[in-house]
Structure 1
Amino acid sequence: MKIAIGSDHAGFEYKGKIIELLTTLGHEVRDFGTHSADPVDYPLYIAPTAQAVASGECERGIVLGGSGNGEQITANKVRGIRCALCFSLDTARWAKLHNDANCIAIGQRTIPGELALEIVKTWLNTEFEGGRHVARLNGIAAVENSQTHSQAGAFPVYERTTLIRPEYLNPRGSLYGGYMLEWADDLASTAATLTFPKASFVTRRGGGVRFQVAGAQW
C-alpha cells in the first residue's frame, strides 16, 4: 500500500517511528515533511499529504502534530478526505470500520509512542463495514459538495454525491444500470421538491434502459 505521511515539528519524532514501522510492514511511504524539529506551520505539510490521498496518488494518509487537532482540521479541508483523530485502539478501529477514514491524525503530545504505532497497525488492518454506514458517508459527501445561491429568486441547487461501492459494479467493472436509474429518480424527486415546495407531483421509476445507435440496440 502507498501511504502519505506529514507532520509539523511537534509530530516529527513519531513520524519517523511510523515511517520505520510502515516500511517494515512492506508499505511504500511518501514523506511530505517536515524533516526536522524546527518550528513550522503545519498546513504547509499536512495539505499536500491529504491532497496526495484525495488525488489517488496514495491510498491512505497519516498526519501528525502536537495534539493532532489542527492537522485533522487541515486534512479535512481537502475534498474527499475523511480524517479521524485517533488516540486509542478503539478510535482507530472505528475510524475505518464505521467512517472508512482514508486518513488519520495522531497527537505526539497526547499518547505514548508505542500506542501510536499500534493505532496505525489497527487502522491499516481494519476493513470498512459498509451496510448502514454507506448512507452516512454519502451524507458527508453531500455536505462537502453542497452549494448555496445568494441570488434573489434563483432556483435552489441540489447536488447528490454517491459513494460507489464494489457491490454496485458488474463483473466488468461498470456500474449496474439499475442503480443509476434509482439515483436519477431520487434526484428528480428531491429537486422537484426543492424547486416547487408547495406543489404535488409524482416521479416514475424506470425498470430498464435501452440504448440505440445507428440502428443497433443493446
Structure 2
Amino acid sequence: MGAQKSIHAGKARIDVNVDLTHKLCAALMPPSLLRRSGLFSEVIARLCIKHPNLFGRSEKLDVMWDKGLCDSNLLITFRRPRSLSLSQQSFVVQHSITPEIGVLGVPLEGFTHSGGCGINLRRFSMGVDFSEPPSSHWSSTTSVKLEHISPINDEGRPIDRDLDGFLVTCSGNSHDNMVVLKQEAQYAIADERSFTRLNFQIDQGLPVLSKWLIFNRVKLVISKGVKLGPAFLVTR
C-alpha cells in the first residue's frame, strides 16, 4: 500500500511518498521477531519528503525514513550551493539500527544460528559534506562527521559484554564515539558501448579524545562495463 502527494508551499513543491507493506507470513520470520509484541513491528515502511527550494535560494531538504523488520534508517540532508562556484555544501544527520548477528557469540546447534543473535548496532551521525564541481571526468567529495555507535539488543537495551564476558566496545563503555574525515574521488568515462568507473576512498578516524576510535581505511573500486546486446556485463 502506498501514497504519493505533492504539496505546493509558495513557489516550491514538496513531494511526499509513503509506502507500507505488512508481512503476513509469520512462518518466514526469525524467532527474535516473533517475540516482539505489537502490529507495527511487522510493518515495512518508507517515507520520503523532498523540498527543492526551502529558503528561496535553491536550498534542498531531503528526509528519508526506511523501516524494515530488523532495521531502520532515518536520513536528513540539507543541501545548499556555495556562492560563486558550482560546488555544494550538505549537512547530514542520520540515525540507523542494523542487525549485526556476527558481531557477538559463536555458532550453536550445528551452525543453525549464532549465540549472539539479537545483536543490533545503533548509529547516530551528523556532519557536513563538501562536493567540488566535477572537472572533466573527475568528481570529489570531502566530509567530516561525528559518529556515536552502540550495540543494543532487540528490546533496545545497551550491550557492553559478549557471551564470554569480554567488552564489545573499544572505549569500555556502552558506546563508541569517533570523528571521521573522509575523502572520496571518482573518475568515470562512458559511451554507448562501455563505461569505466574508478572510485578511491580514504577514511581517517581523528583522535579528538583518548577513548575515541582511531583508524585508517583505504578503499579502491574499479568497475568496467561492456554492452552485450540489450544488457551490460559489469566486472569489478
Using structure 1 for the length normalisation, give the TM-score: 0.27
Higher share of residues assigned helix = 1
Using structure 2 for the length normalisation, give the TM-score: 0.26
Higher share of residues assigned strand = 2
